């Protein structure tokens, strides 16, 4: 018992020390920045002091309505995710069911995935106007290819033994899909949806920033145009925080769906 406890302590120690060191280094960099800016080594009209940035958090939360902006961005991301899930998975299933369509279009989809689709935002502005619909459609289109490709990958990599078991029970094609193929592919499909959600969020915040419309992206743009430097830095920190939380939550869901992965 004592040896086991000793081993456990050593494991925690080995894990905790690097993490604490990393956090300490981050803290040290922040303190060093504060000192360098206060003593004029870094121009405070280009980089505000960390204390000024922390101080402006309250201001941007209250005056700039960060809560409602967050909900707007979140709503747009949710809308794009719903479209992604419906169209991405449906198209992936279609490609899996009809081999000819798959052979004809899979390389095209992979090629589109590598194209900078977000650059189409002026086109979407013309079609949908300067509205939330443009932002949602931009998030949807630029995140669609990974969802299609991952759905296809998940369905194609279902273990043949599972399909054979289904056939031995004389399942209809529809039953085979809903009882065997789809549940087996679900973890991989979720990886695709998660990737799509991350791409969609990145593009949504990016387009909000570029067209100066919507939630958190617009906040960063507005504050920078007002030359409110501490506010701009604080808003950027807030966007980073939101995307990190979003990333961690989707990662946890993925681990829950794929415990062995």
Partner 1 sequence: MAETGRLTAPAAAGGWAALPLSRRVLLLRVFIIAGLVVIWEAVAASGLLFRDVVPSLVTVGQALVNILTVADYKANIFGTEIMIPEFFRHLWVTAYEVLTAMLIGGLAGLTVGLALGSNPFLSGAFERFLYYLGPTPKIIFFPLMIMWFGVGPGSKIAMGTLSCFFPVVLSAAAGVRQIDKVLIRVGRSFRVNTWQMVTKIYLPAMREPIVNGVRLGLGVAVIGTLLAETKLSNQGLGYLIINAYTIFEMPRMYALLILLFGVSIAANALVGRASRAK
What is the closest distance, in whole angstroms, from the C-beta atom of residue 125 to partner 1 in the complex?
A: 7
Interatomic CA distance for residues 110 and 94, integer angstroms: 16
Interacting residue with partner 1 among 32, 62, 127, 165 (CB under 8 A): 127
How many CA atoms within 13 Å lie on the side-chain side of 139? 31
Contact 136, 72 (CB under 8 A): no
Minimum CB–partner distance for residue 22 and partner 1 (Å) = 4
| String of contacts with partner 1 for each residue 68-97, x by CB under 8 A | ------------------------------
Among 32, 35, 86, 240, binds partner 1 (CB under 8 A): 240
**Beta carbon nearer to partner 1, 182 or 247:** 247
Please list every residue from 128 through 187 that binds partner 1, using CB under 8 A: none
Q: Minimal CA–CA distance to 147: which of 200, 80, 92, 101?
A: 92
CA distance 77 to 24: 34
Per DSSP, the chain holds a count of helices (H) and strands (E) of: 12, 0
By CB under 8 A, tell whether 114 contacts partner 1: yes
217 neighbors 204 (Cβ within 8 angstroms): yes
> Counting beta carbons within 10 angstroms of the beta carbon of residue 3, is it exposed (0 to 12), middle (13 to 18) or buried (19 or more)?
exposed
Of the pair 26, 51, the CB lying nearest partner 1 is at 26
Q: Read off the tokens for 109.
A: 């989809």
- Does 243 engage in binding with partner 1 (CB under 8 A)? yes
At 79, phi and psi to the nearest 5?
-60, -45
Spatial separation of the C-alpha atoms in residues 140 and 197, rounded to whole Å:
9
- 220 contacts partner 1 (rule: CB under 8 A): yes
The only residue of 111, 165, 249, 253 in contact with partner 1, by rule CB under 8 A? 111
Q: Which residues bind partner 1 (CB under 8 A)?
A: 15, 17-19, 21-22, 25-26, 46-47, 100-101, 103-105, 111, 114-116, 118-123, 125-127, 198, 201-203, 205-206, 209-210, 217, 220-221, 224, 229, 232-233, 235-236, 239-240, 243-244, 247-248
């Amino acid at each position: 018992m004592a040896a086991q406890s000793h081993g456990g302590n050593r494991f925690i120690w080995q894990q905790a020390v690097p993490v604490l060191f990393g956090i300490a280094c981050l803290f040290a960099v922040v303190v060093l920045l504060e000192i360098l800016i206060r003593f004029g080594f870094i121009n405070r009209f280009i980089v505000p002091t960390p204390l000024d940035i922390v101080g402006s958090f309250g201001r941007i939360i209250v005056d700039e309505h960060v809560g409602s902006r967050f909900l707007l961005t979140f709503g747009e991301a949710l809308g794009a995710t719903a479209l992604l899930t419906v169209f991405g998975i449906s198209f992936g299933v279609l490609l899996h069911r009809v081999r000819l369509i798959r052979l004809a279009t899979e390389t095209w989809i992979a090629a589109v995935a590598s194209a900078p689709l977000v650059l189409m935002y002026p086109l979407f502005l013309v079609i949908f106007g300067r509205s939330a619909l443009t932002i949602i459609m931009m998030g949807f289109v630029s995140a669609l290819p990974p969802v299609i490709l991952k759905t296809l990958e998940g369905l194609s990599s279902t273990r043949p033994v599972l399909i054979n078991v289904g056939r031995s029970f004389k399942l209809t094609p529809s039953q085979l899909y809903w009882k065997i193929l789809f549940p087996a592919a679900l973890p991989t499909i979720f990886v695709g949806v998660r990737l799509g959600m991350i791409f969609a969020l990145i593009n949504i915040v990016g387009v909000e920033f570029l067209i100066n419309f919507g939630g958190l992206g617009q906040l960063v743009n507005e504050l920078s145009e007002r030359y409110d430097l501490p506010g701009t830095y604080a808003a950027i920190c807030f966007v980073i925080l939101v995307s990190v939380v979003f990333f961690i939550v989707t990662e946890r869901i993925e681990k829950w769906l794929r415990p062995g992965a």
